[in-house]
């Protein structure tokens, strides 16, 4: 039996012989930095260690050295497999890009009987039929949607209140399935509705074609009804009854519930979460508010800013973590989306946090009038008179013309975070997104100045918050890992 060697034999002799791999660093707090490697994995380090690392002074006896090597921030003579592993992880991350547009939003009508203050749809009152999508336009939109290279196509019906034009929804579902027969894509359908008009006939059709229902619940009754004025002032009751009805006929997993944050929500996050618990929902998406449509017109965007939303969000997330500690499985979906980017190589496909931007690439909107927009928000801007992100018309323009429109390509290129000042150096870039529409709406250019951008400050604060939570508490780290793989 020959002698066994100690671990010292397997280490390199000099510490300065390590080679740095590409990474970015940004401060986490006063003393610490977040480092992210090429595939978006993070590591927290003190400033001192970071400086040592960068100046090739870090000793290979230092425990951080081992972390840095195994997490692909440096290579040395003991291991240089990192570049190959990084390449695989990177490629996995960007896989989704090649699929191109997966989400196709059909605005089947602008009519709606609610008048929500934040609504990104400028509501037209019920009797104006010229705000409905025609079947001719619908067919054009279906053909464009099926042209997408993506294997999975999700058609989401929005409005106004899309059920006011249910006949067209039926038409689109049947026609899309027919035209898909020779294409063989996986088609999925969703109706985003306030549920006030739901009935058995509609649900039967949904059941036959596996159509999902998406609806909004903003919180407890008074909050929800205050956000969503409706003749009869019973939006909440209609929503709750609607959810029960859909579950009864189609099943619990067939209805998803979203929350919209308004100024009125900001002090009531626990109540909102409690409402979701009462309604037997297994998670909530604590969404940031976007500054579009009525929101800007009625100044309800200015009424709150990144700071206040952050307080709202942090309190909500802490509360949800506590619920989980007590054994209640309840997930916060915004965190889960970001955590998927932090802890896996998967892309959650969340349009607002994609770089290159999700406009056009992730989602596209076919408006009732036939105009095609790069995103929901792009359409909003057009309603407000700014047609910057209008890509074409389904009746007049080909697929190629629409998806190579400068109105799409310019903002995509110019806002690509990897190339934008400050973003290109930012350690959080793998988790963040480019939002050219947001920045154009507020700052009149696709990029804005990040130090002044609410989008940037809100996102950075959120990333820092999530990282600090995970680093400090094992339970939270495990919980977050579960959410990231949700």
Nearer to another protein, 13 or 201 (CB): 13
Nearer to another protein, 255 or 343 (CB): 343
For the chain, give the number of residues: 486
User: Which residues, numbered 375-434, are part of the site for another protein (CB under 8 A)?
Assistant: 421-422, 425
C-alpha 445/C-alpha 423 separation (Å) is: 15
| DSSP per residue, 85-148 | HHHHHHHHHHHHHHH---EEEEE-B-B-S---TT-SS--B-TT-GGGBPPHHHHHHHHHHHHHS
Choices 195-203, 296-304, 408-416, 447-455; region in contact with another protein by CB under 8 A: 447-455
Count interface residues toward another protein (CB under 8 A): 58
Q: Does 49 bind another protein (CB under 8 A)?
A: no
Q: Does 92 bind another protein (CB under 8 A)?
A: yes
C-alpha 406/C-alpha 409 separation (Å) is: 5
C-alpha 297/C-alpha 233 separation (Å) is: 23
> Considering the complex, what minimum distance in angstroms separates the CB of residue 481 from another protein?
4
The contact pattern for another protein, residues 334-363, with x = CB under 8 A and - = no contact, is ----------xx------------------
Among 18, 25, 416, 428, binds another protein (CB under 8 A): 25
Q: Does 13 bind another protein (CB under 8 A)?
A: no
Q: Which of 80, 69, 79 is nearest to 23 (CA)?
A: 69
> Considering the complex, what minimum distance in angstroms separates the CB of residue 190 from another protein?
25
Among 16, 17, 29, 54, binds another protein (CB under 8 A): 54
User: Which residues, numbered 101-140, are part of the site for another protein (CB under 8 A)?
Assistant: none
Contact 115, 230 (CB under 8 A): yes
- Look at phi and psi of residue 363 and say left if phi exceeds 0, alpha if psi is from -120 to 50, else beta: beta
The contact pattern for another protein, residues 61-90, with x = CB under 8 A and - = no contact, is -----xx-xxx------xxxx-xxxxxxxx
> Considering the complex, what minimum distance in angstroms separates the CB of residue 215 from another protein?
29
Cis peptide before 155 (omega within 30 of 0): no
C-alpha 420/C-alpha 239 separation (Å) is: 43
Contact 124, 110 (CB under 8 A): yes
Contact 381, 440 (CB under 8 A): yes
Residue ranges binding another protein (CB under 8 A): 1-2, 4-7, 9-11, 19-25, 38, 41, 47-48, 51, 54-55, 66-67, 69-71, 78-81, 83-92, 94-95, 344-345, 421-422, 425, 449, 451-452, 474, 478, 481-482, 484-485
């Amino acid at each position: 039996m020959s002698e066994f060697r100690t671990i010292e034999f397997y280490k390199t002799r000099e510490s300065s012989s390590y080679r740095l791999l590409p990474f970015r660093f940004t401060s986490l707090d006063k003393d610490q930095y977040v480092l992210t490697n090429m595939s978006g994995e993070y590591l927290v380090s003190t400033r001192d260690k970071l400086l040592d690392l960068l100046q090739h002074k870090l000793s290979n006896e230092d425990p951080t050295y081992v972390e840095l090597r195994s997490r692909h921030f440096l290579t040395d003579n003991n291991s240089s497999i990192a570049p190959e592993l990084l390449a695989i992880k990177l490629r996995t991350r960007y896989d989704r890009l090649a699929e191109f547009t997966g989400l196709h939003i059909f605005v089947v009508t602008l009519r709606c009987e609610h008048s929500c203050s934040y609504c990104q749809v400028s509501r037209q009152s019920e009797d104006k039929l010229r705000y409905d999508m025609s079947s001719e336009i619908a067919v054009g939109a279906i053909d464009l949607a099926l042209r997408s290279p993506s294997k999975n196509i999700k058609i989401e019906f929005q409005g106004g209140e899309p059920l006011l034009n249910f006949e067209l929804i039926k038409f689109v579902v049947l026609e899309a399935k027919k035209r898909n027969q020779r294409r063989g894509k996986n088609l999925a359908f969703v109706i985003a509705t306030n549920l006030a008009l739901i009935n058995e006939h509609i649900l039967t059709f949904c059941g036959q074609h596996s159509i999902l229902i998406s609806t909004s619940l903003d919180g407890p009754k008074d909050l929800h009804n205050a956000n969503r004025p409706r003749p009869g002032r019973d939006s909440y009751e209609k929503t709750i009854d609607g959810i029960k009805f859909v579950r009864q006929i189609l099943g619990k997993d067939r209805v998803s519930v979203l929350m919209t944050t308004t100024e009125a929500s900001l002090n009531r996050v626990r109540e909102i979460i409690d409402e979701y618990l009462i309604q037997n929902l297994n998670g909530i998406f604590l969404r940031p508010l976007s500054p579009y449509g009525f929101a800007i017109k009625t100044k309800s965007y200015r009424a709150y800013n990144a700071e206040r939303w952050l307080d709202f969000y942090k309190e909500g997330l802490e509360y949800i973590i506590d619920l989980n500690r007590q054994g209640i499985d309840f997930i916060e979906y915004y965190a889960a989306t970001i955590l998927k980017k932090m802890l896996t190589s998967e892309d959650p496909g969340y349009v607002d946090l994609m770089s290159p931007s999700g406009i056009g690439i992730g989602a596209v909107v076919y408006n009732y009038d036939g105009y095609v927009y790069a995103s929901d928000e792009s359409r909003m801007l057009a309603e407000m008179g700014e047609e910057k992100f209008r890509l074409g018309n389904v009746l007049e323009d080909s697929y190629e013309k629409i998806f190579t429109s400068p109105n799409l390509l310019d903002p995509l290129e110019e806002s690509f975070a990897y190339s934008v000042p400050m973003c290109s150096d930012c350690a959080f870039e793998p988790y963040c997104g480019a939002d050219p529409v947001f920045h154009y709406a507020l700052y009149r250019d696709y990029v804005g100045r990040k130090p002044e951008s609410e989008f940037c400050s809100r996102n950075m604060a959120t990333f820092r918050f999530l990282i600090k939570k995970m680093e400090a508490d094992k339970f939270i780290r495990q919980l977050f890992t579960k959410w990231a793989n949700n």
